[in-house]
Chain A
């Protein structure tokens, strides 16, 4: 089955810093989402982005489907950005596969 790898696994930032999170996948995908799991465990939708580029405030994402990767950019990070960021994909079947996540801690 498809493999989804996220990097880095852990990231510590000073408030105000920028960062790039990466999601590599081993096969072509039909659907790709980025989620933020907050400290209370809620998965929050960030982007639905099987291809192309999207921006929402301080966050943006780019998926290059032909090269099998997606990037999530966080600019001017805030303490509330702390949590775990997941990439999730499917390849046209019924199963969605999540990466292991990037654990982000933003220091005040």
Chain B
């Protein structure tokens, strides 16, 4: 596709449910990032993939959060046993270059997660 796509766009989960959020990056982009954006705040880094390798997961809030990119393209962010504090918009971005080197990121529309 022409841009980064994310699905679903909206997700409502009951506390304790598991959720999976999908990101389709721009074709051929090496780098993929996940961010969490709370209401009224800037995006906060969660994790970074270079192709299929997860090189930085220091921003994941807890071990309930897990991300993968098994074939170096589509990525999934999974949240287990969701809590109310997980409610946020989850953004995905991709870049043709490498983080820290040349890194112009393009963002998807986000998934708005609401945990009841």
Contacts and interface: CB of A to CB of B under 8 A. Distances in A.
Interface stretch (B12-20, B39-47, B64-72, B73-81): B39-47
Interface in A50-108: 86, 88, 90-101
A42 B99 contact: no
Given A48-B104, A100-B41, A95 B59 contact: yes
Chain A interface, DSSP helix/strand/loop, else mixed: loop
A18 interface: no
B2 interface: no
Contacts of A96: 33, 45, 99, 103, 105
A95 B106 contact: no
A33 interface: yes
Contacts of B109: 40-42
A88 B41 CA distance: 13
A26 B33 CA distance: 23
Contact of A31 (B56, B58, B102): B102
Contacts of A91: 100
Contacts of A92: 100-101
A17 interface: no
A94 B55 contact: yes
A25 B101 CA distance: 18
A30 interface: yes
Contacts of A97: 45
A101 B16 CA distance: 32
Given A99-B42, A100-B42, A94 B107 contact: no
Given A41-B109, A92-B101, A99-B42, 8 more contacts: A31-B103, A35-B107, A92-B100, A93-B99, A94-B48, A94-B55, A94-B56, A98-B35
